Amino acid sequence: MPSADPLLSDPFPFRLAKDALIVAASPFHPSRDLPTGSMSGLAGAGAGQVAEVVSSYDLDSPVFRAHEGGKLTITATQQLRDRDDLSLLYTPGVADVSMAIAENPALANRFTSKRNTVAVVSDGTAVLGLGDIGPLGAMPVMEGKAVLFKHFADVDAAPVCIETGSVDELVETIARIAPTYGGINLEDISAPRCFEIEARLKERLDIPVFHDDQHGTAIVVLAALINACRLQNRSMADLRVVVSGAGAAGVAVTRLLQRAGVADVVVCDSRGVISLERTDLQDHKPRIAATTNPRGVTGSIGEALAGADLFVGVSGGSIAEAELARMAPEAMIFALANPTPEVHPDIAHKYASIVATGRSDFPNQINNVLAFPGVFRGALDSGAKQITESMKLAAAEAIAAVVTDPTPEEIVPSVFTPGVAEAVAEAICRVAASQ
């Protein structure tokens, strides 16, 4: 009787002994059979090679062990048990599916993984607070993002970390790989390039394109403000808001707050208030000056904070107490820089009745994970071709509504509060159905 086909009986037929100090012990999962310990960090070596890795970090620490071999794998949705299965899942059966899709490309959403797959695209030029660390340095972050997509919204996300280049090169690269995916999540691409890249991809592609550093942050900030206004019985139209930071997040927060009804927003960069009087404004900042700061404030951020009701920090650095003391009574401070907020919560509480940060160890964490999983879940389920401004407003309202009885210590839900992604997805679908 012939022996069983090894490619069907063992998914890792070329595995090596567990004690082998050899890279790519399994050709299908290079880290699967690597031993733990100092030699487990064998990076940059080809198959069958042994290489010592020098690092200033403790590669045996718990955080590195949690990342050993990466945080993602690929799992088949259909079983491959015998040759009948093989003939259905691959040749000859797959040919009919391919030809049907070639005849009608819309069928790809039904008969391929495209309908539930998002590309998490980064060039590594603005990773977290780490700056330009390149595509390989960005990989662990993008893998982590993919884990969040799957856990919170059952969206399959694939990290796509690419070498940086001109705006034209990045747009062309992303557009050419787009047919594989149901959506594009842009991540950690430096400003001001990120604005043009997103805008051009939205014009070119027929799938949702969403720069999370911009819009995810803005959605959650607005959700927090909705509940803060509920607590204080205030109207957004009456607020004076100061945004510190004119990068990706600062611009998006400003625009979404304006769309939600905030009329008086002053944006500051490292040189002070962005105003029409400044002669050093470049890139996107002249447009900020033209569309914000209705009272014509000039000078330092301290001048902007005089009488302000809300401070939103998305820039890093620190704000002096003397400047915070100039804010209006019952002020709100959202100091979102990570890991070091622009204002430490202990200081912020001296001058504000409601305080939020970007950190998980303080109340009111403004965390993008409250937004992007549900946004893409809703966009994929509804077949939306774009994530519109109306969808972002609806997503913020949905997040805010999850907190049924807001308090100063809870104006946004925890990332682990059940139902957040579902509520956001439902809101996206409702808007999509009405557009």
| Residue range of the domain that includes 26 | 1-69
78 assigned to some structural domain: no
Answer yes or no: do 7 and 89 share one domain. no
Domain CATH number, residue 196: 3.40.50.10380
Question: What pLDDT is stored for residue 435 in this prediction?
Answer: 85
Dist CA 120 CA 186 (whole Å):
6
Task: Say whether both 54 and 113 belong to one domain.
Answer: no
In the numeric block, the tokens 């695209």 are attached to 121
Domain end residue (candidates: 44, 69, 94): 69
Structure confidence by residue, pLDDT tens digits, 366-420: 999 999 999 999 999 999 999 999 999 999 999 999 999 999 999 999 999 999 9
Of 69, 95, 113, the position where a domain reaches its end is 69
Rounded Cα distance, 218 and 222, in Å: 6
- Contact indicator for 355, 348 with CB cutoff of 8 Å: yes
Mean predicted confidence (pLDDT) in 83-102: 96
Q: Establish whether 90 is a catalytic residue.
A: yes
**Angle at CA 382, nearest 5°, toward 433 and 420?**
100
Q: Judge if 299 and 428 occupy the same domain.
A: yes
In this structure, is residue 399 part of a structural domain? yes
Residue 373 within any structural domain of the chain: yes
CATH classification at residue 403: 3.40.50.720
The pLDDT value recorded for residue 54 is 85
Number of structural domains the chain divides into = 3
Q: Which residue has the higher pLDDT, 182 or 37?
A: 182
For residue 76, is it within any domain? no
The predicted-structure confidence for 238-254, as pLDDT tens digits, reads as follows 999 999 999 999 999 99
Strand pairing class (272-273; 352-357): unpaired
Same domain, 54 and 175: no
| 74 lies in some domain | no
Which one is catalytic: 18, 57, 90, 114? 90
Residue whose token pair is 């919170």:
152
Indicate whether 148 belongs to any domain.
yes
Same domain, 248 and 116: no
Phi-psi region of 146 (alpha: psi -120 to 50; beta: other; left: phi over 0): alpha
Q: Is 145 designated active site?
A: yes
Q: Give the pLDDT confidence score for residue 338 in this predicted structure.
A: 87
Helices 212-232 and 389-402: crossing angle in degrees, nearest 10, is 50
Q: Terminus-to-terminus CA distance in the chain, angstroms?
A: 63
Residue 75 is assigned to a structural domain of this protein? no
Residues 56 and 115 grouped into a single domain: no
- 264 with 411, same domain: the answer is yes
The enclosing H or E element of 249 equals: helix 248-259
| 53 and 12 within one domain | yes
Asked if residue 315 has pLDDT above 50, the reply is yes
pLDDT over threshold 70, residue 46 = no
Q: Give the torsion sign (CA, 124, 127, 130, 136).
A: negative
pLDDT score for 48:
52
111 in helix, strand or coil? helix
**Band of the pLDDT at 264, cuts 50, 70, 90?**
very high
Mind listing the pLDDT tens digit for each residue in 143-181?
999 999 999 999 999 999 999 989 999 999 999 999 999
Q: How confident is the model at residue 317 (pLDDT cuts 50, 70, 90)?
A: confident
Tell whether 117 and 229 lie within a shared domain.
Answer: no
Same domain, 186 and 219: no
Please answer whether residues 310 and 242 qualify as being in contact, where contact means their C-beta atoms are separated by less than 8 angstroms: yes
Of the candidates 200, 209, 133, 139, the one whose C-alpha atom is nearest the C-alpha of residue 372 is 209
State mean pLDDT over 16-43: 36
**Do 330 and 353 touch, CB atoms closer than 8 A?**
yes
228 and 333 together in one domain: yes
Which one is catalytic: 18, 71, 114, 145? 145
The span from the CA of 45 to the CA of 24, in Å, is 9
pLDDT above 70 coverage of the chain, percent: 88
116 and 181 part of one domain: yes
Please compute the mean of the pLDDT values over residues 305-309 and round it to a whole number.
Answer: 98
Distance from C-alpha of 315 to C-alpha of 337, rounded to nearest angstrom: 6
Rg (CA), the chain: 25
Boundary-marking domain end, from 151, 182, 207:
207
- 363's CB contacts (< 8 A; 6+ apart) are 355, 356, 409, 410
State how far the Cα of 221 lies from the Cα of 365, in Å rounded to an integer: 10
Domain membership of residue 173 (yes or no) is yes
Name the average pLDDT for the chain.
Answer: 89
Mean local confidence (pLDDT), 75-102:
96
Dist CA 358 CA 328 (whole Å): 23
Residue 12 has pLDDT above 80, yes or no: no
140-176 b/e (C-beta count within 10 Å ≥ 16 → b): bbbbebbebbeebbebbbbbbbbebeeeeebbebbee
